[in-house]
Amino acid sequence: MTLEETNCFKMLDEYARSRHRCFLAEMNLSADKTHYALCFRPTGGNKDSPNRYACRYLHIGAEQVGTAGHSLPPSIVEMLDRELPILPQS
């Protein structure tokens, strides 16, 4: 993982944890290297919950990872705020 990927992963994970009670479990670059597939899962899982395997996959452009710098771009924040509340909690 590159330094840019590591920084972006940390920012995405921190944002998801603090705002949406979930975490970034995976961040994989596509075969054609144009986008990343992100897998978010709820925090505080319960082994008896029907939602214990819940996850939400999202995609971001590879160029967005390199330009994230020290903060997430507004377009990514908007996507997370729109998509992560749909993730069932356990």
How many domains would you assign to the chain? 1
The whole-model pTM stands at 0.89
Domain region containing 7 = 3-86
Q: Give residue-wise pLDDT tens across range 14-67.
A: 999 999 999 999 999 999 999 999 999 998 767 777 777 889 999 999 988 877
What is the model's pLDDT at position 28? 97
What is the model's pLDDT at position 44? 76
CA pair distance 36, 26, nearest whole angstrom:
10
Mean pLDDT for the stretch of residues 59-81: 89
Q: Which tokens belong to 50?
A: 């029907």
Beta bridge partners of 22: 42
- The C-alpha angle 86, 60, 88, rounded to 5 degrees, equals 15
